[in-house]
Structure 1
Amino acid sequence: MLVNSAVITGKGADTARSRSIEDVEQLRALLQTRFNDLNLEYEEAVAENQRLRLVEIGDAAGDDQADSGSKTAERDAASSLLRTLLDRRTQAEVALQRLDDGTYGNCEGCSNPIPVERLEVFPSATTCVHCKTNRERRAG
């Protein structure tokens, strides 16, 4: 991947080397595909969640504690999945915005380039490993 070879011109251009238009468009395509996939997955999960709620509403008569608890667990799992997908979709959207701003691939903490290996694993990364570790240490 081409991320550490630089950054496009823009707000963050002074913190890194320049990236070619081809590189930027390749990154944009990658991030847009990720966003589209997450958006589709989110929409499917919303539809499934609505279907489960309709089934639950029509099938609640005669439920004992175990049935009720099972339905609550299913509802909680579905809600958790929706929150996770929405968060991941938002991260991809922010990454696309950072690409437009010329700051994608640079750490929000120290402005240094984020290693290619990190961005390959986590394209929505906004911090280098060092800054991420420091944040986690302070939070925990």
Structure 2
Amino acid sequence: MQHQQKQLHWPETVTRPLLVSGHCPDGADAMAERLWRGAGFEVREMAADWGTHGLKAGFVRNAQMVEFAVSLCQQGSRVLCAAFLDLCRKWDCRMSQRQQLAPRVTGHFSHGAVDCRAEALSAGIETVDVFPSRLALAT
């Protein structure tokens, strides 16, 4: 099977596409950064500072990303948050018995993704939920 590259086309009003990424070295952040840079677009990396904030670093970073997005909105930019909702992968998660998903899928979503999504929605940022195909097929 041959893959075809598709050129990304933006509405004429989008003059400078910018990806604001949590800069996690694997998963959705890394994939999005590669795709975005490959298309020649700018990436703003906002990595969590685990040394300073400890276990809350991801949540602090999420708030900072949303604050940055709000500042872009205030400058007249169109902002869209894509929430990549995958399953929580913590083997010792205290919430492992909490059911958040469709009845045919056991588990709950990544705490960081849910937090960032909630922050964005609370700030009035348009948000789109993105699910891995294995979850989308199960619903």
TM-score, L = length of structure 1: 0.23
Bigger helix share: 1
Bigger strand share: 2
Which of the pair has more CA radius of gyration? 1
* Higher-RCO chain (CA-CA 8 Å, sequence separation at least 6): 1
TM-score, L = length of structure 2: 0.23
